[in-house]
């Protein structure tokens, strides 16, 4: 059995994914946070950081869902067993340090090998 990936290894996998995908140019950055979710289960939050809210709105639900699914598929290829939450934010929100508004289409999925 191999060990789960570190946060930096997850970020590297996401950056590799970004370079392969047509939508990669709209992603400004990634942020990975770990901890316990509200149910006290170990979890990973992957923040897809976009340049601004206009890009978020232009992407639309289908494209955001496609990005979310590809992130989950990428993490699924590792030995990660924690819950994975994929959320979207903007550089503006990150710079302000504000918690981004939660999307209505937020999902969580168990990732296992």
The 10s digit of each residue's pLDDT in 21-69 is: 877 778 888 888 899 999 999 999 999 998 888 888 888 888 889 999 9
Assess if residue 41 is contained within a domain: yes
Assess if residue 104 is contained within a domain: no
Assess if residue 101 is contained within a domain: no
Assess if residue 102 is contained within a domain: no
Assess if residue 27 is contained within a domain: yes
CA distance 27 to 36: 26
In this structure, what CATH number is given to the domain that contains residue 63? Answer: 3.30.70.1350
Long-range pairs for 92-95: beta carbons < 8 A, 24 or more residues apart: 92/52, 92/53, 94/29, 94/31, 94/47, 94/49
**Residue 102 · residue 56 · CB < 8 Å:** no
How much is the pLDDT for 95? 80
How much is the pLDDT for 86? 95
Domain count, the chain: 1
Domain that holds residue 90: 7-96
Assess if residue 52 is contained within a domain: yes
Closest CA to 95 of 28, 41, 36, 9: 28
CA distance 76 to 80: 7
C-alpha atoms less than 13 angstroms from C-alpha of 17 in its C-beta half-sphere: 22
CA distance 19 to 78: 19
pLDDT category, 107, cuts 50, 70, 90? very low
Assess if residue 54 is contained within a domain: yes
Assess if residue 106 is contained within a domain: no
């Amino acid at each position: 059995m191999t060990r789960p990936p570190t946060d930096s290894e997850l970020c590297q996998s996401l950056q590799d994914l970004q370079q392969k995908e047509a939508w990669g140019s709209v992603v400004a950055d990634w942020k990975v946070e770990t901890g316990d979710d509200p149910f006290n289960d170990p979890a990973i939050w992957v923040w897809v950081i976009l340049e601004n809210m206009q890009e978020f709105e232009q992407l639309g639900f289908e494209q955001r869902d496609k990005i979310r699914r590809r992130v989950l598929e990428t993490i699924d290829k590792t030995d990660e067993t924690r819950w994975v939450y994929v959320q979207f934010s903007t550089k503006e929100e990150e710079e302000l340090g504000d918690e981004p508004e939660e999307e209505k289409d937020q999902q969580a999925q168990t990732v296992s090998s």
